[in-house]
Amino acid sequence: MFSKKPDNAMAKTFSSTTARTGSTSFSVLGTDTAITGNIVASVDLHIDGRVTGDISCKSLVQGDASEIAGAISAETVRIAGFVRGSISAREVVILRTARIEGDVSYDALTIEQGARLEGRLNPNGGQIPPAIAQLTDESELVPAE
């Protein structure tokens, strides 16, 4: 049942992914995870658990049973669970199981029938949302010489 030897298929998959990219391409917070605090990720993030705090990442996918209480800033956002806070992204997809209490700023927006939104919709008009612009500026900072 328990073995000290790693599963070769898993070891090969992990090592080849790590060797090509230097890191994994996404992070997952499972259903049994509850986090209090802000999350900043430079990769895609999949959340199935509960987060109380702001989230900034490249792309966010939220599971239908998850809960987020805080602001979300990302390039793309796919919401399926409960969000209490603002959402700022270039592309926002709100699935039918989603419940949002907060404002949504977007360039492209898709809302499935059955989704619930209590807040304002704010088209960016091609502008980068301020929270995303701040992330971009911080990542491109060059130290003064």
| Residues 55-83: tens digit of each pLDDT | 999 999 999 999 999 999 999 999 999 99
Contact 11, 27 (CB under 8 A): no
Any domain includes 17: no
Fill in the DSSP letter of residue 71.
-
Fill in the DSSP letter of residue 136.
H
Any domain includes 10: no
Cα 3 to chain center, whole Å? 35
* CA torsion angle 100 101 106 108 (round to 10): 30
Cα–Cα distance between 109 and 107 in angstroms, integer?
Answer: 7
pLDDT tens, position by position, 79-118: 999 999 999 999 999 999 999 999 999 999 999 999 999 9
Give the residue numbers spanning the domain of 114. Answer: 25-139
List the Cα angle 83/86/89 in 5-degree steps.
105
How many domains is the chain partitioned into structurally? 1
Any domain includes 7: no
Any domain includes 6: no
Fill in the DSSP letter of residue 6.
P
Any domain includes 93: yes
Any domain includes 144: no
Any domain includes 58: yes
Any domain includes 125: yes
